[in-house]
Amino acid sequence: MQIWVNGGLVDADSARVSVLDHGITVGDGVFETMKATDGQAFALTRHLDRLTASARGLGLPDPDHDEVRRACAAVLAANPMPLGRLRVTYTGGLSPLGSDRGDAPATLVVALGESTRRPDSTAVITVPWTRNERSALAGLKTTSYAENVVALARARENGASEALFANTVGQLCEGTGSNVFVVLDGQLLTPPVASGCLAGITRALAVEWTGAQEADLPFDVLERADEIFLTSTLRDVQAVHRVDGRDLPGAPGPVTAKAMRVFEERAQDNLEP
C-alpha cells in the first residue's frame, strides 16, 4: 500500500507525520472521503471544494487543488482495487503543544483503503448526544471526530451501522458519517444545513435528483416516518430497516427504492456530477 505524505508516495509502513502535528495533538485538521471505483474518484471537484471550505472554516491555508488531485491520482494508480475509500487529510502541521497553531506548512496525507458495496438496508440507533448547530465547527468536515467515534461504537454495540443525532434544539440532524432523509405523508424531506449537519455531497445530489425538500424536523419524526434512508459517499442511498426498537418492514419502501435507483443511474453516467 502506497500513501501520499507531504509531496510524494511512500510505503504505508514508513508513512510518517510528526507526533507534534496539530492534527494529532488537538484535531486541527480537515478531511474528505471519496468513493473510488476502478481507480476513479467520484465527485472529486465537489470534494475538493468542500475541503477548501472546511480548511477556511478552521483558518487553515487553502489546500492546493492541483497538488491534491496529483496526490489522489498517484495513490489510485499505485493501489489498484475495484472499490476504495480515498481519504484526503489536511492538518495544521507541526505546531506548539496546545491550541495555538504554528507557522509550519500544512500536512497533506492521501490514503486508500479497500471497501465493499454496502448492503441495501441497515439498522440505525438514536443517541442522546447532540450536534451543536452553533459550534465553530458546524458544517465543517474536521478531524475532530471523536464524538462520532463514540456514537458509532454505541451503534455497533446495538447491532446498528449508524447513530443519528438531534441538534441542540431537538431537531433531526445527521448521522456520524451520513445525512438522513425521511418520507412523511408521501413527502421526501431532509434537514437543512442550518440544523448543523454536514453539507453532504451525496445529500446534495440526492436532493437534486429526487426533488427532496429541506425541512426542520423534530427528532421524534423517526418514530413516525414511513421510510427513512441515509446518504453518504460510501453508502450512496441506503434504506433504514430499523431505528432503535422500531422495525420498518419492507425497507426499502417505494420512495427510497426509487431514490436508490435514480442515484445509481445518475452517478454511473457522470464521475463529476
Ligand X SMILES: Cc1ncc(COP(=O)(O)O)c(C=O)c1O
Q: Which residues bind ligand X (CB under 6 A)?
A: 33, 141, 174, 177-179, 197-198, 200-203, 231-233
CB 196 within 8 A of CB 135: yes
Min CB(206)–ligand X separation in Å: 9
Q: In the complex, what is the shortest distance from the CB of residue 33 to ligand X, in angstroms, rounded to a whole number?
A: 5
- Between 167 and 178, CB nearer to ligand X: 178
Q: State in angstroms the smallest separation of the CB of 160 from ligand X.
A: 16
Residue with smaller CB distance to ligand X, 20 or 27:
27
Which residue, judged by CB position, is nearest to ligand X in the bound state?
A: 200
55 vs 94, beta carbon nearer ligand X: 55
Q: Judged by CB, which is closer to ligand X: 60, or 94?
A: 60
Contact at 8 Å (CB) between 229 and 181? yes
Decide whether 95 or 167 has the Cβ nearer to ligand X: 167
Report, in Å, the least distance between residue 135 CB and ligand X: 12
CB 133 to ligand X: min, Å: 13
- Shortest CB 10 distance to ligand X, Å: 26
Nearer to ligand X, 64 or 147 (CB): 147
